[in-house]
Amino acid sequence: MPAALKENIVPVPGQVETRLWLQLLSLHGELFASLNAMLNAEFGLSLAKFDVLAQLDRYSDGLALGQLSQNLKVSGGNVSGLVQRLLADDLISREMSSEDRRSFIVRLTPKGEALFRKAADIHKRHLGKRLENVPTQELDTALSVLRSLSSKLRTESKKQSRKK
C-alpha cells in the first residue's frame, strides 16, 4: 500500500494496544516455555518454583507467605501449593512468625540455596543465548520502554483505586 494511503487510514481504537498485548504474550510464552523446559530438564524445577526460590534468595530473613504471594503476583492458593512442594523437596523451611502467630515465614534451606545458585546461573546463560542476536542497545531500549509502560500503568491503577 502506498505511504500516502497509509497516512489517511484512521486507526481502530484499541488496535495498537491489542497488538502490544498479543506481542507481550507471545514473547512471554516463548521465553517461559524454553526456560521452564530447561530448568525442568536440568534440575527438576518448574519456572514457578524457581521464581519462589528467586524471591527467597532476595530476602535472607525469609518472607511471610502473604508477602511472597504479593511479590509473585499470584494467589495465596498458588503460593501454598508451591511452598508445600518446595518443603517436600527440602528446598525451603517454614516457621511461625515471631511477630504474627497467624503467619508463617519461609526461607531457603542450604540445599535450596545451592540449587538456586546453579539454576540461576543456567537461567541467566539460557536467556543470554536466546537473546544473543538482539543488540544490547535494542534490549536497553525495550527495557526502558517496558519500565515506562509499567510505571504509567501503576500510576493509572492508583488513580483508579482512589476514585472508588
pTM recorded for the entire structure: 0.82
46-128 folds as Arc Repressor Mutant, subunit A (1.10.10)
For the chain, percent of residues with pLDDT exceeding 90? 70
Per-residue DSSP letters for 101-139?
TT-EEEEE-HHHHHHHHHHHHHHHHHHHHHTTTS-HHHH
DSSP, collapsed to helix, strand or coil, labels residue 93 as strand
| CB neighbours of residue 105 within 10 Å | 20
Over 90: is that where the pLDDT of 113 sits?
Answer: yes
Structure confidence at residue 144 as a pLDDT band (50, 70, 90): very high
**Domain parsing of the chain, residue ranges:** 46-128
- Find out whether 72 and 79 touch, Cβ atoms under 8 Å: yes
- Within 8 A by CB and 6+ apart from 90, the residues are 109, 111, 112
- Residue 102, pLDDT above cutoff 90: no
Reported confidence tier of residue 14, pLDDT bands at 50, 70, 90? confident
- pLDDT, residue 9, reads 64
Reported as type and span, the H/E element at residue 61 is none
pLDDT tens readout for residues 26-76: 999 999 999 999 999 999 999 999 999 999 999 989 999 999 999 998 888
